[in-house]
Amino acid sequence: MTGPEPETKMQFLFALRSRGVTDKRVLQAMEEIDRGMFVRGIFANRSYDDMPLPIACGQTISQPSVVGLMTQALHLSPRDKVLEVGTGSGYQAAILSRLVRRVYTVDRHARLVREASQAFSALGLSNITAMTADGSFGLPEQAPFDRIIVTAAAEDPPGPLLAQLKINGIMVVPVGQSDAVQTLIRVLRTETGYDYEEIRPVRFVPLLEGLGKDG
């Protein structure tokens, strides 16, 4: 299994840094995880471009710099237990797996979970649990979580997910009323409530309830 050429990888990391991904641990994880493992078919040759790409089930694999910025915004530590809502290609979960103790990732599309799980196995990432579920309800049986990352946009941070954050836990989620205008926000759960901080404008697919119709 071959990764990208050294020059391609250098350009990839330079693009990440130039767009604000500066956390050394995050950059190292993104250097180690081959994005090409998560991009299939006709877009495979675009794996190292800093752009979102289509994947199965009408979803996308996020732009690498956005993956990096969201990961960085979580302020991860090696002991953290993280919930990801929206497995998609599995790329974000793979990055997280290099930085934390345990990753739980859920997606409403069984096909995406299957394909992501195959990539995790091929890369030897044994600390990820991927499952098909309605992510808008989180994963109560594994709560509370140190960190939660949502890779689909909601009108507001979903209540069930907020409730599954530990005190001093952080959630990063895109929010917005429309496809065109969304803001990535960081939510810190405190002893008395939640603090919200805007990070940057983004564009994500909407967070939908229920399971996908695919097999």
Q: Mind telling me the catalytic residues?
A: 62
Q: What is the β-pairing status of strands 81-85 and 145-150?
A: parallel
3-state secondary structure 182-197: EEEEEEEECCCCEEEE
Pairwise CA distance, residues 200 & 208, whole Å? 22
Pairwise CA distance, residues 56 & 98, whole Å? 25
Contact 135, 86 (CB under 8 A): yes
Contact 80, 171 (CB under 8 A): no
User: Which amino acid, one-letter code, is at 50?
Assistant: D
